[in-house]
Structure 1
Amino acid sequence: MATQLKNLSDFSHTTVPDGSPYSIAIAVAEWNAEVTGALFNGALETLKKHGVKEENIISVAVPGSFELTGAAEILLNKHPYLHAVICLGCVIQGETKHFDFICDAVANGLSNVGIKHSKPVIFGVLTTNDQQQAIDRSGGKHGNKGDEAAITAIKMADLAASL
């Protein structure tokens, strides 16, 4: 598999716009906190590195990944000036179908919130087979999905502003 060979958070091949004009929210799930905390730190540092002002970053915690859809909806309703919402979570495959239901609900829910508000709602939710895969993608050997989500938020906010 290609992901075994590279850091997925390498952005040397692309230009990242200046984030200073944008206000961005981060919603992070508390479930699997070791992983989601690392995702959050990656996203926050990447936003700041690319110019998003700290006072223009709103952060909220929710119990689990399922609640990210509600958080994105609330954030966009309460703060209509937001340019994007980053949603960070981690769902690890278990022995039941719970994994499938949660992943499907979160992916569809976040997509629907973004469409409803015509704002980028970024899917930064790890859906892994085991804990090690989650660690590898939250600052480990495959990079940090939080970094990727932050870059995506800035690029999508810039796209929306340019159209």
Structure 2
Amino acid sequence: MSTIDHISSSYHSEVPSGEGLHIGIAVAEWNYNITEPLLEGALEVLRRQQTKKVTVFRVPGAFELVNASARLLEDPTVNAVIAIGCVVRGDTPHFDYICQGVTFGLSQLNATSVPGLRAIPAPVIFGVLTTETIEQAEERAGGRLGNKGAEAAETALKMCRPICTVHK
């Protein structure tokens, strides 16, 4: 489903309360003109949903989001981590390497329990924009396509308090 189809879709489950939850956010400073509005969108959702505690961990770039997310997960009180970054394609293959590394690293963290700390993996939410142009990133950081940081926060809360139904 495209972003525009998702925005106009009539089905969106309710965003659960953040009461009692501790959410970690790893945010890249690279492309701060994009990552800051994404962070603000996430924080607004978490405030609105009365999240108990939010820890923000700033890192230089998107590649460092994996390490920051892992560090946030070391705190047993953190219920979920949101990784926020922005990588815009340039003239070299650097874009591909960074996107691949961040995607793989965050995916690994998302599926990893920590012996002695977590029996069930805490959700790690991929809030990293990977766009062809800075204009595409701006559209997704509070522009006409919404705020992907806010969507990442909603996803974190939904993953902490999933709605499960049984069908017969």
Provide the TM-score with structure 2 as the length reference.
0.86
Q: Structure 1 residues 136 and 9 mapped into 2: Cα distance closer, same or farther (>3 Å)?
A: farther
Runs of 4+ in 1 over 6 A off after TM superposition: 9-12
Q: Does residue 94 of structure 2 align to residue 94 of structure 1?
A: no
- Paired residue for 2:57? 60
Instruction: Count residues with an aligned counterpart.
Output: 156
In the alignment, structure 2 segments of 5+ residues that lack a partner are: 114-120, 164-168
Q: Does residue 151 of structure 2 align to residue 148 of structure 1?
A: yes
RCO (CA 8 Å, sep 6+): is it higher in 1 or 2? 1
In the alignment, the residues of structure 2 paired with residue 130 and residue 72 of structure 1 have an alpha-carbon distance, to the nearest angstrom, of 26
In the alignment, the residues of structure 1 paired with residue 103 and residue 160 of structure 2 have an alpha-carbon distance, to the nearest angstrom, of 20
Instruction: State the one-letter code of the partner of 2:66.
Output: T
- Paired residue for 1:46? 45
- Paired residue for 1:69? 66
- Paired residue for 1:37? 36
- Paired residue for 1:107? 103
Instruction: State the one-letter code of the partner of 1:37.
Output: E
Quote the offset at 1:30 in angstroms: 0.1
User: Kindly, what percent of the aligned residue pairs are identical?
Assistant: 48
In the alignment, the residues of structure 2 paired with residue 108 and residue 9 of structure 1 have an alpha-carbon distance, to the nearest angstrom, of 30
C-alpha contact 1:6 1:142 (8 A) present in aligned 2: no
Instruction: State the one-letter code of the partner of 2:58.
Output: A
Q: Structure 1 residues 40 and 10 mapped into 2: Cα distance closer, same or farther (>3 Å)?
A: farther
The alignment partner of 1:124 has SS state of strand
Quote the offset at 1:111 in angstroms: 1.1
